[in-house]
């Protein structure tokens, strides 16, 4: 990353660098060097490196931009709205969990199941994206990790809805779990 950023600097893309390289190539070394041949070699190398058909890597490095101006024009990668939704979900969970435990019903249980699953999905997805990178693990393992995040989230939401519809509900399950007393010795 640092090397690609260095290659994009004006110092690397200016004529000044090529003039310095030419001057260094023309300086006499310990052995006598054919300077005309050295300059011709440097110029041919410079011309071949600047051609787009011979070095697509150099051209892709030069065209790679991460400036704020360029990214702000792209609406598909605008993560600020998702960040607001994630924070709104977290804020909604704070009063929703106690209210659902105080007054259990299917509507509050369903809303709590959706918000808890979404909240945990975004957290697991962030972990998978941040720590299971393609540059470290290759191209396949990160896709498997994201697939597992989706699978876990779908299974969680399905399991919570199963408890809501076919059992006593999430809030009543938590209340029942809290009411279990440990075996006391008399």
Residue 137 pLDDT greater than 50, yes or no: yes
Contacts of 124 (CB under 8 A, 6+ apart): 149, 152, 153
Q: Are 46 and 33 in contact (CB under 8 A)?
A: no
The domain 80-179 is placed in CATH, from the list 3.40.50.150, 3.40.120.10, 1.20.1440.120, 1.20.1300.10, at 1.20.1300.10
Domain boundaries, the chain: 2-64, 80-179
Sequence ranges of the binding site for a ubiquinone: 131
Sequence ranges of the binding site: 119, 131
SS3 of residue 185 by DSSP: coil
69 falls in which pLDDT band (50, 70, 90)?
A: very low
Sequence ranges of the binding site for heme b: 119
Contacts of 43 (CB under 8 A, 6+ apart): 22
pLDDT digits (tens, 9 = 90+) for 75-131: 556 678 888 999 999 999 999 999 999 999 999 999 999 999 999 999 999 999 999
Average pLDDT, the chain: 78
Residue 3 pLDDT greater than 60, yes or no: no
Q: Are 176 and 168 in contact (CB under 8 A)?
A: yes
- Mean pLDDT is highest, among 28-37, 60-69, 135-144, for 135-144
- Quick one: pLDDT at residue 1? 45
Neighbours of 139 (CB within 10 A): 8
- Quick one: pLDDT at residue 65? 46
Residue 30 pLDDT greater than 70, yes or no: no
């Amino acid at each position: 990353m640092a090397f690609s950023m260095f290659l994009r600097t004006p110092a690397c893309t200016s004529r000044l660098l090529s003039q310095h390289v030419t001057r260094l190539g023309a300086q006499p070394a310990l052995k006598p060097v054919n300077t005309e041949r050295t300059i011709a070699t440097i110029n041919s190398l410079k011309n071949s490196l600047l051609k787009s058909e011979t070095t697509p890597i150099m051209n892709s490095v030069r065209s790679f931009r991460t400036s704020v101006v360029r990214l702000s024009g792209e609406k598909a990668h605008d993560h600020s709205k998702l960040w607001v939704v994630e924070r709104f979900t977290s804020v909604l969970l704070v009063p929703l969990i106690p209210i659902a435990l105080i007054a259990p019903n299917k509507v509050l249980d369903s809303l709590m199941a959706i918000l808890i699953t979404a909240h945990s999905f975004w957290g697991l997805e962030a972990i998978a994206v941040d720590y299971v990178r393609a540059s470290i693990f290759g191209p396949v393992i990160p896709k498997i990790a994201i697939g597992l995040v989706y699978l876990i989230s779908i299974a969680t939401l399905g399991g919570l809805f199963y408890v809501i519809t076919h059992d006593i509900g999430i809030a009543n399950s938590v209340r029942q779990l809290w009411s279990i007393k440990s075996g006391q010795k008399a």
